[in-house]
Structure 1
Amino acid sequence: MDAIADRLARDEPALRTSRDLWPGVQQGTGSGASLFIGDQVGIALFTPEMAGTRDYRMALLAKPGDAVVVRQRSPDFEAYLAEYLGIRQVRFLGAQGADPAPVAKQCRTSPALFAPLLELLRAAGSLTLHGYLVTGHLWQLAQALAAAAGLPVYVAGPSPRMSRRVNDKLWFWDVAREIAGPESVPPTAFAFGPAAAAGQMARLVRVSGQAVVKVPDSAGAAGNIRFSAAQLEGLGTAALCGQLEQRLRAAGWEGGYPVLVGVWESGVEKSPSVQMWLPHASEGPPEILGLFEQRVQGREGKFAGARYASLTRETEETLAADAMRLGAMFQKAGYFGPCSLDAVLRRLPSGAEQIHWIECNGRWSGVSIPLAAATGLMGRQPEGIVIVQQNLESEAPLGIPRQCSILGDLLFRRGQSSEGVILLSPPHPLRASLNAAAVAAGQARAEALMEAAFERISAAV
């Protein structure tokens, strides 16, 4: 792992050096206050409308004296955080919700946001910046604050270049193939133009019956375009190129290459993910926090929730061993912070199981945030947890006060409960939705709590 990491850093020095280009800023966590920015804008193809209100999830990690910046404030959700979860004495700031600029950039360029953050830094003596996705904008904000206050500012995440690489599906596919073996990843190709993409799609469809084109640095299935053999039948290269680019641009793609062309896996039984924490290399090896099974919806496989995995011991050992090797390589190359690795578990015609690694989330995620939040609220990692992130059948929005009223005694109360349902973010403003986690002393009990929650909500809507 050391040799591979050193070679990658030698070929691309900015993996390590770009974290050292910001005077007054260090990678890591300080002893003062923290700033949490849960904005998803910055991930390719994500718009403020797509991100919705999920940037509030990182507020569940805040402590007294910290600050949280969101695109659109929800007084009802902030009241829920205080009353049920004891998250008080936290300063919430609202950015410009419809502005396509990332919130970290708005914090640097808007005096209305920069001034209170500077005040917080001066009062606390240091400030640690936690971003859902760490980009150059977060490091630039850290540098601007450090320069204005003459005080240390920390970034709890990877360098901008390292962040970009680990979240690139093509880069991850390449290193996973080298570290875990050529059979550990699905057939995949780089396509540097429309004709190349069309040719690769036609080839893979002949082999597997279905192909997928992915914008490699997007997430949550936002950049996944799936094609079947029937859709390609009779299409020439020019027609296929046109259809591909039309569908990509409809998803928000702006014409960047390469794109990923791969098979759409058949026989998939489960979508496991390995949740990890990667400390600085000097502070110990990567830590596996848990193995989860993801629940996905739709043709493109959109994330809809997760639970602790139920896998064979052999599969768990293989996933953990591969993840530890990949995590060790990332760590040696300069990565720091939360990281999750996604795979699919296939059943081959022979009956054997096959693991294929799909992507790395070099950032916080819809699983790691509730897991960390539940651990902080309970004082220990929950033995059972179910996470849901989905729209409900009703078209009418179901606000936080209404959700609290419906769920009632099922809700987790900090200091009073040993189990319960935790609301993770406000619902979508235009449609009924639920983003929540059920935690308990065992997985079966957590499943039962979430089932009871859905029964109550379904009856109410």
Structure 2
Amino acid sequence: MTTATQLTRAPGSHVADGTQPASVRTPITPVFDIPLSPDQRRHISAVAAMIAEEDPRISRVPPLADDLATGQIDAPALLIEDHSGIQLAHDRGADANLSYRAMLLAADGDLVAVYGQRNRAFEEYCRDTLDLGDVEVIAPPLADPHQSLAQACLADHDLITRTVSRAKDHGGLNVIPYMATGGIWRLAGEIALRSGVPVRVSGPPPALMRAVNDKIWFARWAASLLGEDAIPHSRAVYGMGALAGYLRRFIQEHGRVAVKLTHSAASLGNIVLDSDQLTSLSPPQLAAQLRDMIEDRDWQNPFPVQVTAWEGPLAATPSAQLWIPHPEDGPPLVEGIFDQITVHENARFAGGIPSELPDAEQREIASQALRLGMLFQQLGYFGRCSFDAVLIAASGMGQGQENRLHWVECNGRWGGVSIPMTLASRLVGDWRNRALLITERTIADGRAIAMDEFLQACRPHLFRAGGDRNGAILLTPGRLQRGGFDLLLLGTDRADVIARERACLDSLTQ
């Protein structure tokens, strides 16, 4: 098996076929070769110039140490999955449930920081069953439940000492975060300052990270780049009175509308409303109901929020997966278009599959995603990024119409598709060589499952390095204690991976 360590490239190195940017530690498998016209390139540069003029500091790397920058170098890494940059996620248990996913991107000699208690059985599973390498796992003490993982790492003298020592021994260090928050940059800066060697953050500067993950900011500049018809009808709203007023206007044009927190991950920050919930209410009644809904969801200081049309019927909910290198290493790479699996009225993410849309539609999605990625690259973005869209079915628009693509948000970070997609390429060489399914499931009785119990029950169905390259892969142990599990399934075809998913679920309910 090819490990991430073997894929490390020294700064300035190049790959003969041009598909893997220099200095990338994880495998990159671009799917689309999309040409852009000179006019498109000029327009991208013009929009980037407008953004930079409006916010000159958006591309600024914090001056925390002499040799601290975005990128990756040929050195070990400290990997951290910290969700504190996403509204509601940390307080709803995202770090406790998901921080171990960082191990899926780690390799020999790396350090991984996890939230809460260590799960040695999962560590052994990654090392021995998946053959991902021998990594050092550190669980920093938590001062209180609201402390972010990055803050806990920065406050842990032992972690800092060990990380600085690793950096000195190898002449540098990569910090590979789930999301390059200000806390991550402060941690990286402290390591760089104490070690005196180059430290690279695999993510954008913090102001740019915050901007691209802001739904209001993204909608504005996606419309400037791709046209007003590239996004749903939406508006930024800054107070309760304005929210009630704009909702009444939106509901007259759209059967359903949504109120979205600007920096939340999809369903956690969505309130979806039908017209029959609003049209009979007076303005004071509507404002009172909205206050109750916001309080019930514990949205603290929610404004500004985005009011947007909740569109349908949908042909698909595509997500474009990109890697954005430094400009000298080439343009952004579109690695795949995935159809997201969502559940419930607020569209909670529950998995994903490689898109089965016609090639022409996938290429159009990839082309628009590439332009968005090139815009971000010109602003100084580096690293993993994805763009989520809805494809509105032509059947809902009258005869002779085509499906309509609307971009809804940017995920300027790793995510629920990109991590397992990258893991699949680590395990089998190129994820496109296998049928692939990413899924989140809950056991019917909701009982807690120990890691050893999961491995024993699902043993016949699990992927093993050196085997036939098919099987189920547990992505994180965090949800087992809550009666759920997150899987990546690899198989020969769609029916095979669905059967393997069902077999795992049946094994755990017997």
The answer to whether residue 61 in structure 2 is matched with residue 18 in structure 1 is yes
**Residue number in structure 1 paired with 2:217:** 171
Q: Which residue of 1 aligns with 2:412?
A: 362
Give 1:247's aligned residue. Answer: 293
The aligned counterpart of 1:162 is 208
Matched, 1:75 2:120: yes
> What residue number does 1:5 align with?
48
- Taking only aligned residues, the RMSD between alpha carbons, in angstroms, comes to 1.8
Give the direction of change, closer, same or farther, for the CA distance of 1:361–1:106 in structure 2 (3 Å limit). same
Other structure's SS at 1:53 match: helix
Cα deviation, residue 221, structure 1 = 1.3
Task: Trace 1:290-439 onto structure 2 (pairs within 5 A).
Answer: 290-347=336-393, 348-350=396-398, 352-383=402-433, 384-428=435-479, 430-439=481-490
Offset at 1:455? 3.7
Tell me, yes or no, if structure 1 residue 191 matches structure 2 residue 191: no
- CA distance in 2: counterparts of 1:365 and 1:446, whole angstroms: 21
Match of 1:138 in 2: 184
Measure how far apart 1:269 and its partner are: 2.8
The aligned residue for residue 286 of structure 1 is: 332
Q: Of the candidates 84, 88, 92, which is equivalent to residue 137 of structure 2? A: 92
**Partner Cα separation in structure 2 for residue 179 and residue 390 of structure 1:** 38
CA contact (8 A) 2:339 2:355 kept: yes
Contact 2:315 2:403 in 1 (8 A): no
Percent pairwise identity: 32
| Aligned CA distance change for structure 1 residues 81 and 28 (closer, same or farther; 3 Å) | same
Mapping for residues 179-218 of structure 1, pairs under 5 Å: 179-218=225-264
Q: CA deviation at 1:220?
A: 3.5
Letter in 2 for 1:140: R
Asked if 2 retains the 8 angstrom alpha-carbon contact of 1:438 and 1:446, the reply is: yes
- Aligned counterparts of 2:256 and 2:103: Cα–Cα separation in 1: 40
- Aligned equivalent of 1:58, options 78, 93, 102: 102
User: What per-residue deviation string (whole Å, max 9, x for no partner) do you get for residues 404-442 of structure 1?
Assistant: 122212211112332211110004254211101012354
Mark the runs of 5 or more structure 2 residues left unpaired by the alignment: 1-43
CA deviations on 1:251-277 (whole Å, 9 max, x unpaired) are 332214221001111212321111110
Give aligned pairs, total. 459
Deviation at residue 449 of structure 1 after TM alignment: 2.9
In the alignment, the residues of structure 2 paired with residue 68 and residue 316 of structure 1 have an alpha-carbon distance, to the nearest angstrom, of 35
Shift of 1:117: 1.9
Hey, what's the Cα distance between the residues in 2 that align with 1:68 and 1:118?
Answer: 14
Distance 1:259 1:416 in 2: 49
TM value normalised by structure 1: 0.95
Please report the TM-score for the alignment, with normalisation by the length of structure 2.
0.86
Q: 1:22 to 1:159 in 2, by over 3 A?
A: farther
Q: Partners in 1 of 2:287 and 2:455 — Cα distance?
A: 49
Which stretch has the larger CA shift, 407-416 or 63-72?
A: 407-416
- Given that 2:153 and 2:159 are in contact with CA atoms closer than 8 Å, whether structure 1 keeps it comes out as yes
The farther-off stretch of 92-101 and 405-414 is 92-101
Structure 1 match to 2:504? 453
- Partner in structure 2 of residue 232 of structure 1: 278
Q: Which amino acid aligns with 1:84?
A: T
Matching residue of 2:85: 42
Amino acid at match of 2:80: I
DSSP 3-state at the match of 1:205: helix
| Mapping of residues 268-287 of structure 1, within 5 Å | 268-287=314-333
Deviations 1:296-329 (A, max 9, x none): 1111110000000110222112101111111111
**Alignment partner, residue 15 of structure 2:** none
Shift of 1:88: 3.9
Contact 1:400 1:427 in 2 (8 A): no
Aligned residue identity for 1:393: A
